[in-house]
Amino acid sequence: MELVQLDAENGQSTTEDGVSNAVKDKCAISWIEKDFAGLSAQDDDVIKEINITHVVKEGAEKADASHFELLKVLGQGSFGKVFLVRKVTPPDTNQLYAMKVLRKATLKVRDRVRTKMERDILADVNHPFVVKLHYAFQTEGKLYLILDFLRGGDLFTRLSKEVMFTEEDVKFYLAELALGPHTVLCTDFGLCKEAIDHEKKAYSFCGTVEYMAPEVVNRQGHSHSADWWSFGVLMFEMITGSLPFQGKDRKETMGLILKARLGMPQFLSAEAQSLLRALFKRNPVNRLGSGPDGAEEIKRHSFFCNIDWNKLFRREINPPFKPAVARPDDTFYFDSEFTSRTPKDSPGVPPSASAHQLFRGFSFVATAMLEEEGREDPVQAPPHPVVQLHGKNILFSDGYVLMEDIGMGAYSVCKRCVHKATNTEYAVKVIDKTMTDPTEEIEILLRYGQHPNVITLKDVYDNGKQVYLVTELMRGGELLDRILKQKFFSEREASAVLYTITKTVEYLHAQGVVHRDLKPSNILYVDESGNPESLRICDFGFAKQLRADNGLLMTPCYTANFVAPEVLKRQGYDEGCDIWSLGVLLYTMLAGFTPFANGPEDTPEEILNRIGNGHFTLTGGNWDAVSEMAKSLVSKMLHVDPHKRLTSKQVLKHPWIIQREKLPNSQLQHQDANLVKGAMAATYSALKSSQPTPELKPIESSILAQRRVKKLPSTSL
């Protein structure tokens, strides 16, 4: 049954696929359809033409390959490649797309039909949660589909990195799938069938064998019910990290699907086990979701009892993972096996003289593109500055000149660099990949580097051994250096400085990020104004994002009910460490010396003993002139028990912060600058020496990751 709804803007009725009936009646094109009912090997050349409709403005110019600049390879399959491309012609100049290129010669007749079906389904479906087809065209040897570029990557890549998800993660993703095209962003319709209802069956044998339903494997004919079996396979793999039925080869896998008993992991909840058993029914008639209510049967299952379907539909529930992408052409979440390749679209040999007839009516231009064509002066979004910086350079040395060292870390060195094309100065952090994994730092900077008080990541280069993180240059130097060099620094100024830094830390903590290395040398001024708003928190090399017990990134607002208590406890401990570091900074700004070290000559044992006992003085020297509010705040930020320290939100609400105008404005004295900096360095050196780092094997060594790597296609186009 076709559902019809009224378009609120123009009053036209639209079908469930979102295409206006009024528009559908305007034009028609020929297309190729294969009749799969009772299909046999001899039927491969049986093709019939029928008419379908799509949206094309009369006289519009069709796109071709010369209209797109190849940027990167995103993926590769048996029949072709997917490229990241940039449009170089109006009306959508500089717009990024994903370009799917298929070789006609490698497509059997069945595959040609499926490709045409994919193009027709994508052209018909106009929905914000289904990947949008913008252009379709062909040459003698190839077919081209120009689609939305989705920077976050796919669920498979996420699963490959994280091994498996928690039940709550799985519940979220499955619930989106169960809602249908309204919320899940589907991207590959190459194996889809149009117009299958509960009374009709398809007989095609296609798809990944491990996900096939028994009725697909034995070719008895299948309906929508087969999708719910695949739904169960996806659930099983996400929740356990392995497939339910997998043999040593394709034939054995098919045999297991038809006959083997399901090995149900006992660590799964009773509700999860119940849903899996209901989905893995070999008789499709008995399978959950196969009845007249369809997806509603799935949604009513107890596994989804705490899902608010209305909120999920309206996208009011925060997802368990948000990809860290900041640049328009970011391919961070695509496999480097593909993205590292040189993008090249070689000429394709036509399959036959009738190639264009086989794919007659393939060309397509989206309505939105045609509407843009009619505008006299189309508005174009300027390219992102990162894209302009990087251009098409591959090596760091192609775009930048390295200058002098400006900082040194345990596994990295920071240098000044100059961008060749613009002569603009930047800083670059060169990280030794053999000593540390910079992935977490890059993710955090990509996701949160747009905050005004977090250092901005401009670009990333990876030569295999080192990673180059190009950032804005901190011309104002370190916070402590500037304070100690100032002739006049008051308690009121200290309050303004702490407010800016704590406000930034509070933002990071709210996103589930802990810095864990907030020493003064990692807090710098972007310019020489000395304005607290020009402060930047830098060096996220030790920072962590809140993760569930399986390593999946979470945010506190989502995980309150879903993360193990010990994980949240650890997160609270790390947040407490950040507050303690801010307490040390505040103490030093007010007292003129550090709280736990007298100088660089203090031993780590002496420093750690003072820290552990919570021994620091709030009398004598500057403290005699410092307000009681300041002493109260320092004591609460330096509390020995991290869980009893103030949170960043509580610090921001403290009277010493909100009543700044009442604070003394008299000059605070300080020790010799070198002595203070030496004592501060000794403090953090002692802390690091007391925290042994556990050695973990890389995720690539896991059996699951190795299996998935083997499955990656490596055919050429």
Residue type at position 344:
K
Q: How many angstroms separate the CA atoms of 348 and 368, rounded?
A: 30
* Cβ atoms < 10 Å from Cβ of 344: 10
> What mean pLDDT do residues 418-439 have?
92
Known binder of ligand: residue 76? Answer: yes
**Contact between residue 137 and residue 343 where contact means Cβ atoms under 8 Å apart:** no
* Closest to 370 in 3D by CA, of 653, 114, 54: 54
pLDDT at 603: 87
Q: What is the CA radius of gyration of the chain?
A: 30
Comparison of pLDDT for 62 and 4, the residue scoring more: 62
What residues does each domain of the chain span? 4-152+338-373, 155-322, 399-471, 478-689
Kindly report the CATH class assigned to 155-322: mainly alpha
Cβ atoms of residues 214 and 258 within 8 Å: yes
More confidently predicted of 80 and 651 = 651
Determine if residue 530 is labeled as part of a ligand binding site.
Answer: no
Report DSSP letters for 378-393, one per residue: ---PPPPHHHHHHTT-
Q: Is 529 annotated as a binding residue?
A: no
Q: Whose CA is closest to 505, among 364, 353, 319, 649?
A: 649
Give the whole-angstrom CA distance, residue 192 versus residue 602.
70
pLDDT of residue 238: 85
Rounded distance, CA 614 to CA 594, Å? 13
Mean pLDDT, residues 393-407:
86
Half-sphere exposure of 238 (CA within 13 A, CB side): 23
> What contacts 530, CB < 8 A, 6 or more positions away?
476, 482, 486
Tokens for 605? 């044992």
- Residue 406 marked as a ligand binder: yes
- Interatomic CA distance for residues 573 and 642, integer angstroms: 6
Q: 551 a known binding residue?
A: no
Q: Is 97 annotated as a binding residue?
A: no
Strand partners, 75: 82
Q: How confident is the model at residue 346 (pLDDT cuts 50, 70, 90)?
A: low
pLDDT band at 210 (very low <50, low <70, confident <90, very high): confident
In the predicted model, what is the mean pLDDT of residues 386-402?
A: 64
Question: Is 78 annotated as a binding-site member?
Answer: yes
- Whether 154 shows a pLDDT value over 60: the answer reads yes
pLDDT band at residue 449 using 50, 70 and 90 as cut-offs:
confident
How far apart are the two ends of the chain, measured CA to CA in Å?
41
Of 136, 134, 45, 717, nearest in space to 358 by CA: 45
Look at residue 459 and give its three-state secondary structure: strand
Sheet of 523-525, strands arranged across: 477-478, 523-525, 535-537
220 has pLDDT over 90: no
Residue 653: band (very low, low, confident or very high) from pLDDT cuts 50, 70, 90: very high
Question: Measuring CA to CA, which residue among 30, 32, 28 is closest to residue 55?
Answer: 28
Q: CA 381, CA 355: separation in Å to the nearest integer?
A: 38
Query: At residue 128, does pLDDT exceed 50?
Result: no
State the pLDDT at residue 189: 36
Identify the pLDDT of residue 710: 53
Mean pLDDT, range 403-410, rounded to an integer: 89
Helix (H, G, I), strand (E, B) or coil at 530: coil
The two three-digit tokens of residue 569, written as one number: 């406890």
Distance between CA 358 and CA 100 in Å, rounded? 19
Q: Is 18 annotated among the ligand-binding residues?
A: no
- pTM listed for this prediction: 0.53
Structural fold of domain 399-471: Phosphorylase Kinase; domain 1 (3.30.200)
Q: How far apart are CA 75 and CA 83, in angstroms?
A: 7
Compute the CA torsion angle 91, 97, 103, 108 (nearest 10 deg). -110
Q: Catalytic site residues? A: 517, 519, 522, 539, 559
One fold for both 399-471 and 478-689? Answer: no
How many whole angstroms separate alpha carbon 58 and alpha carbon 60? Answer: 6
- Residues 369, 135 contacting (CB under 8 angstroms): yes
70 beta partners:
85
Query: Tell me, what's the pLDDT at 539?
Result: 93
620 is in an annotated binding site: no
Cβ-contact 359, 127 below 8 angstroms? no
- 285 contacts: CB under 8 Å, gap ≥ 6: 225
The fold for domain 4-152+338-373 equals: Phosphorylase Kinase; domain 1 (3.30.200)
**pLDDT at 496 exceeding the cut of 60:** yes
Secondary structure string (H, E, C) spanning 164-221: CCCHHHHHHHHHHHHCHHHCCCECCCCCCCCCCCCCCCECCCCCCHHHCCHHHHCCCC
137 contacts 366 by C-beta, under 8 angstroms? no
DSSP secondary structure code for residue 403 in this structure: E
Report whether 409 belongs to an annotated binding site. yes
Which CATH number is associated with domain 478-689?
1.10.510.10
The pLDDT score that the predictor gives to residue 345 is 67
410 is in an annotated binding site: yes
Question: Measured between alpha carbons, how far is 137 from 52 in angstroms, rounded to an integer?
Answer: 17
The verdict on whether residue 278 carries a ligand-binding annotation is: no
- To the question of whether residue 599 is assigned a binding role by annotation, the answer is no
Q: Which residue has the tokens 């009738």?
A: 354
- Which tens digit of pLDDT belongs to each residue from 251-290? 999 999 998 888 888 888 999 999 999 999 999 999 998 8
- Residue 164's pLDDT band (cuts 50, 70, 90): low
Residue 413 annotated as lining a ligand binding site = yes
Are 537 and 581 in contact, with CB atoms under 8 Å apart? no
The 10 Å Cβ neighbour count of residue 422 is 11
Please tell me the predicted confidence (pLDDT) of residue 162: 56
User: What gap in Å lies between CA 130 and CA 189, rounded to an integer?
Assistant: 10
Two structure tokens written together for 72: 């990167």
